[in-house]
């Protein structure tokens, strides 16, 4: 099966599966984004739990607000950026000439995400500060996952594909 067909299949699977995940507080938007792309690349059986564990903290970091007011990025953004680096490097480490392209791809992704959803930070796009004690209760009560977050994941998987089309063709087909 061709790589774009695998992405299409994964996106359709996510559209069916993601709405029901909002009932589980333990889901991680970063891990779901990252591992969905790993699945498309055929890396789903390769120590999948290590990658899930690696990505989970990025969702928590999305709820962080610094003392100076900086807000952490949505976990979906972090998961997608990790996947973009993996895609662009292929089965080898990115070489020095590829670094710049990876940086620029990350910037393009962030710009597209912000244009689509209005911000990059979790609290701004969800409308809830998950770093506050009652934030998670409000998140679950308002069905924020079902109403908003699932769409971030689908958008990110699709944009990661579009932005890395050349690398996918050269290194993953």
In tens, the pLDDT along 53-81 reads: 888 888 888 888 899 989 999 999 999 99
Q: Say whether pTM exceeds 0.85.
A: yes
pLDDT band at 46, cuts 50/70/90?
low
Counting the structural domains of the chain, the total is 1
What rounded mean pLDDT belongs to the chain?
90
> Is the separation of the CB atoms in 81 and 106 below 8 Å?
yes
Tens-place pLDDT, residues 91-122:
888 888 889 999 999 999 999 999 999 999 99
* Domain containing residue 89: 3-172
Tokens of 151: 């769409």
> Other C-beta atoms within 10 Å of 15: how many?
13
Phi-psi region of 69 (alpha: psi -120 to 50; beta: other; left: phi over 0): left
Length of the chain: 173
> Is the separation of the CB atoms in 59 and 132 below 8 Å?
no
């Amino acid at each position: 099966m061709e790589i774009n067909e695998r992405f299409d299949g994964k996106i359709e699977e996510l559209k069916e599966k993601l709405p029901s995940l909002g009932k589980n507080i333990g889901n991680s938007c970063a891990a779901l984004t990252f591992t969905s792309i790993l699945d498309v690349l055929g890396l789903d059986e390769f120590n999948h739990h290590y990658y899930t564990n690696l990505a989970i903290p990025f969702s928590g970091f999305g709820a962080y607000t610094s003392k100076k007011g900086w807000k952490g990025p949505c976990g979906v953004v972090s998961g997608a950026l990790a996947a973009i680096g993996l895609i662009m490097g292929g089965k080898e480490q990115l070489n020095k000439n590829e670094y710049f392209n990876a940086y620029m791809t990350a910037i393009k992704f962030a710009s597209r995400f912000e244009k689509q959803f209005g911000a990059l930070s979790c609290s701004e796009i969800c409308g809830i500060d998950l770093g506050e004690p009652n934030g998670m209760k409000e998140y679950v009560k308002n069905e924020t996952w079902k109403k908003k977050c699932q769409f971030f994941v689908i958008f990110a998987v699709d944009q990661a594909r579009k932005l890395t089309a050349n690398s996918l063709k050269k290194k993953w087909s």
